[in-house]
Amino acid sequence: MSWTDERVELLKKMWSDGQSASQIAKELGGVTRNAVIGKVHRLGLSNRTNGAPVPPAKTEEVKEKPAAAAAPKAEAKPRPATPPKAETPRPAPAQPAPQAAPETKSAVPARRQIIPAGQPLPPQPSANEISPEALAKVNEIEKRAKRLSLMELTERTCKWPVGDPATPDFWFCGLPVQAGKPYCDAHVGVAFQPMSARRDRKR
């Protein structure tokens, strides 16, 4: 298979959509995820909203090739996949650690008994079903949550909902997700509990 315009177009779309290289490869067929990644790079669209700060200095490998030292390789690395790209200072909004929240609401926002308009989101476990440690952890990190809206969520943001969806005071955690999971570290803790733990706690 070759990279026809159509295939490249689909690749671009899926990639910017946040699809993984393997998913794209599967969709396209006839190519491996490596091929996709390679193409992505060649197209120069590696970073997709990537907040990952590229390491400024590429530390040379410490591989000691016994005879490599004298190799008369008189050529600069033509490897600047990054053209004259002006350094982005990133004065960005940054993240003021202190989320100066004037509201002195109690630690845990009261859960509503009602089911608003939409269908209920991930189960909001009742407090007494969660381990104290996990609960404390959540209360802790929720203060630091990014408080994203539905539209702001990405594959890399914690999708744990907080508050009442019927209220303006509703948001998603938004902290970096635990690899592979839909939630951040703390919320994974309350979302995924070992059966045994639940049972033990229940009785």
Partner DNA sequence: CCCTGATTCGC
Partner DNA sequence: GCGAATCAGG
Binding track over 78-97 against DNA, x by CB under 7 A: -x-x----------------
Does the footprint of DNA cover residue 16 (CB under 7 A)? Answer: no
Does the footprint of DNA cover residue 23 (CB under 7 A)? Answer: yes
Does the footprint of DNA cover residue 39 (CB under 7 A)? Answer: yes
Stretch that binds DNA, among 19-27, 96-104, 132-140, 194-202 (CB under 7 A): 19-27
Nearer to DNA, 61 or 64 (CB): 61
Q: Of 117, 126, 163, which Cα lies nearest the Cα of 142?
A: 163
Binding track over 132-171 against DNA, x by CB under 7 A: ----------------------------------------
Gyration radius from the chain CA atoms: 23
Task: Report 54-83 residues binding DNA (CB under 7 A).
Answer: 61, 79, 81
176 phi, psi to nearest 5 deg: -60, 135
Nearer to DNA, 42 or 198 (CB): 42
Structure tokens at 86: 């002006």
Nearer to DNA, 135 or 189 (CB): 189
Which bin fits 67, alpha (ψ -120 to 50), beta or left (φ > 0)? alpha
Q: How far is CA 192 from CA 128, 137, 176, in A?
A: 15, 14, 17
In this chain, which of 16, 17, 34, 107 binds DNA, going by CB under 7 A?
34
What secondary structure does DSSP assign to 112-157, as a single string?
PSS--SS---S----GGGS-HHHHHHHHHHHTT---B-GGG--TTB
Strand, coil or helix: what is 42? helix
- Provide the minimum distance between the beta carbon of 44 and DNA in the complex, in angstroms, as a whole number: 9
In this chain, which of 1, 97, 117, 151 binds DNA, going by CB under 7 A?
1
